[in-house]
Structures are given as C-alpha cells and as structure tokens.
Amino acid sequence: MKKVVIALGGNALQKSKDQATAQAQQRACEQTAEQLLRIIKAGFNVVVTHGNGPQVGNIVLQQEAAATDRTPAMPLDTCGAMSQGMIGYWLQQAIDKSLADAGIPKRAATVITQTVVDPGDPAFRHPTKPIGPFYTEEEARRIMREKGYLFKEDAGRGWRRVVPSPRPVDIVEKDVIRELVENGHIVVCAGGGGIPVIRREDGSFEGVEAVIDKDLGAAKLAELVDADILLILTAVEKVAIHFRQPNQSELEEVTTDQLRRYMQEGHFAPGSMLPKVEATLQFADSRPGRTAVITSLEKGFDALLGKAGTRISARGSGVRKEMPLTS
C-alpha cells in the first residue's frame, strides 16, 4: 500500500476567523475526517499533519492575558506543543468516529512532534515569520520595550510580532511515527511544522522561540517516514501561473525542473503558494518515484486518483496524465 503524508491547510480546521470556538473547529475537523475517510478506505497508509497558526496565536494571547507571578505565561515552543495536543485531540476524535461509522477497525493516534533545527540557521538572525494579532506602532513599541519581542510593520495593516522560521533538519519522533503507520494506524503528527528544538551537546533537546513553516515541515516528515506521496491540501484546486491575470494558466502535470523555473520567475507569492511549491520540490526530488500533489481539501481523493490537482514529479519519473496514484 502506498504511504501518503497529508498536509491539512487552515480551512480544514477553521473555516473563518469568527469560527474559533472549540465546537466550530471540531465540526470543521469532522468535515475534514469525511474527506480523509475516502482516502483511508481506498487503502492508503495515512499520516496527517496540519497547520496551527490561528490556534497557537490564540494560545499565546491567552497565556499573556492571564500571566501573573504565580501563573507565568508559557514560552512559544510550549504553546506550540499545546496546539499540537489540542488539534490532534480534535482530529483523532473526528477520524475515529468516521472509521467506526464506516466499520473500519482502525484508530488514529496523535504524536507530539519535535522538529530539529540548526542553531546556526540564518533565520535566527533575521526573524520574518509574523505571529499573533496586529498592533498600532505605539502598542508594538511598548511591547518591545516591556518584553523584548521584535515587531515589524506588515504591509500597511499594522505591526505584528515576528519570530525566526528556521528550516527543518530532522524529526525526533520519526521512527515512532513510521512504526505506527506501517502497522496500519492513522497518525496525526508534526502539527504546525513541529515544535522547533535544537540538539544539546549531551544529545538532549531544547525548545527555541521560532515557528517552522508547516509545508516544509510536512515535506521533511514525508521524507523521513519514507512516504510515496506528499499531498498538500489548500484553498485552491490547482497551482496557477500568472495568477489572477488574464493569461492565468493552471498546472496539472509538471516536473520539478519546470516548477522550479516558474518559481524563479516569481509566479508564486511568499507566505501563500511559494512555501507549498518549495515543499513539493524538496519532496519530489528527494528520491526517484516520489510524487507531490497540491489541491483543495474537497479534491484530495480525486487528486490521488490522478483526476484533480497539480502533480509534481522529478524529471524522468513524471506522472503521466490519466495514470492514477492508486494504493
């Protein structure tokens, strides 16, 4: 059976900014589980990863709002762990219910996942990843003085805290995840790209104040658990060049060489489609025969059958049109 890592976008967990209650997000997870069930029923071995941007941002704000000397706010890496546990709980409940309703004797399990980063990564010297809400310049400068955070102005919309976004190097729990999925379990892991940690000289790990790009984290996870397919689910069915221009063109089958050329020509927006493209290039080039797919949540199953989405493969090992990626 083919092994697929499925990277869920934000719409799989929260449909809109005003639907941040636990109940609303649980309903979104139930709808997502219905789509995942189709893939599981088709016989794929499934690993699920997810974003956590809105959730971890809310946790940080809640921690800071309630902070006192007796109950101090937790650091960013610990807030990331909280978000992994919370979202994993919602997803595994939703997946387990879908499996039980379908009469499938499988269970989902969440693995709190640490992602190793290089302490010498240049990203630590140049924080770029915005987290949390927007502030006025006056508010941002006050928080910088009081807490030592770094803020930057964000495209005229206000000031936001920025943190480093180093590239993922390794995943601490990779062997556990691989063993679980190879024994038929559905694994939810590496949420938000994983909790960023650095390796100490004694071999232990220490969390750092950073955020890992969730798509690059999913690509590293897919490499390390020896997946055949990386399926990135987002808000659009296909990747497009000349996006929102009269000559917009959607991509169906594309090699990594072609996609890299489009990327260098500036077709993909940073913070939007660009990290997804970078992730698919990294995975598809990591081993012959690997395929990456970008599509919408609703088209995920069809995309695995070769009927939707944008499919990316390395030069010489491309997926032919109409050839399904069956299990």
Residues serving a catalytic function are: 10-11, 129, 214, 276
Neighbours of 274 (CB within 10 A): 16
Pick from 286, 170, 270, 274: which is nearest to 217 by CA?
170
Contacts with 164 (C-beta within 8 Å, 6 or more apart), sequence order = 121, 123, 124, 126, 127, 128, 129, 208, 209, 210, 211
Q: Is the separation of the CB atoms in 55 and 13 below 8 Å?
A: yes
103: region left, alpha or beta (phi > 0 left; psi from -120 to 50 alpha): left
Q: Cα separation of 221 and 47, whole Å? A: 9
Strand-strand pairing, 3-8 and 45-50: parallel
DSSP assignment, residue 42?
A: T
Under DSSP, is residue 4 helix (H, G, I), strand (E, B) or coil?
A: strand
